[in-house]
Amino acid sequence: MTKKELAISLSKMDVFVDAKAYLEQYPTDSEIAADVLWFAYLNNDIEDKVIADFGAGTGILGIGCMLLGAKKVYFIESDSKAIDVLKKNLERVKGDYEIINSDIGNFDKKVDLIVQNPPFGTKEKHTDVRFLEKAMPLSKIIYTFHKAETKEFINQYIDRSKHHMTHYFEFDFPIKKSMKQHRKKVEKIRVGCWRLFFS
């Protein structure tokens, strides 16, 4: 598999039907997912690893990990409608996985890697920090997406934890018109992806 092939496979995934605003259901763009996951793959963070995708939605991050040779992927998602789409997307890939239809708060397995593009806390303040807080004790390596404008705040949070940032990527995140309140067809927001590690 090449990075291009990964991006193409991910671009074919189905996305949310009737995305729910209160859950901030925005799928990660396939090019951005491929960029981050390809980096992670080259960094030996994916192949043969047990991985959890927190707030998996329709599964683009976890499925990308499966395509890149993950040993097993746990998809943790609270919304059963999103899980219906996730199940359809999973029909197209091979590999070991488990879907957990639950709040991330109920997941307590130690894993090698957590990938998460959580709600950015626009609707409910600091939801993304709750995801971080949950992820940190469960995984040495975390790839986590947050709004770039909250960088200082996220960095301060990381500074107080046992993890530290090894890499940071920033993207123009296209938010496609999927909810009634969106006026423009595609809006772009600056989003960062942190790679966190603790040894």
Interacting residues of 67 by C-beta distance below 8 A, sequence separation 6+: 1, 6, 9, 10, 93
In the complex with ligand SAH, which residue's Cβ is closer, 77 or 157? Answer: 77
SS3 99: strand
Decide if residue 89 touches ligand SAH (CB under 6 A).
no
SS3 48: coil
Given candidates 6, 82, 113, 196, which one binds ligand SAH under the rule CB under 6 A? 82
Given candidates 6, 64, 99, 119, which one binds ligand SAH under the rule CB under 6 A? 119
User: Edge to edge, what strands does the sheet with 50-54 contain?
Assistant: 97-101, 72-77, 50-54, 111-116, 139-147, 186-197, 164-176
Given candidates 79, 132, 154, 163, which one binds ligand SAH under the rule CB under 6 A? 79
Q: Which residues pair with 189 in a beta bridge?
A: 173
Tell me the window of 115-123, 160-168, 178-186, 187-195 that interacts with ligand SAH (CB under 6 A): 115-123
Report, in Å, the least distance between residue 199 CB and ligand SAH: 26
In the complex with ligand SAH, which residue's Cβ is closer, 137 or 159? Answer: 137
In the complex with ligand SAH, which residue's Cβ is closer, 64 or 163? Answer: 64
56 residue type, one letter: A
Decide if residue 77 touches ligand SAH (CB under 6 A).
yes
* Chain mean position to CA 63: 10
Dist CA 115 CA 51 (whole Å)? 7
First to last CA, the chain: 30
Q: How many residues bind ligand SAH (CB under 6 A)?
A: 22
Query: The dihedral of CA 17, 14, 92, 10: what is its sign?
Result: negative
Report, in Å, the least distance between residue 20 CB and ligand SAH: 7
In the complex with ligand SAH, which residue's Cβ is closer, 47 or 103? Answer: 103
Residues 49-68 close enough to bind ligand SAH by CB under 6 A = 55-58, 60-61
Query: Which residues of this chain interact with ligand SAH, rule CB under 6 A?
Result: 23-28, 55-58, 60-61, 76-79, 82, 103-104, 117-119
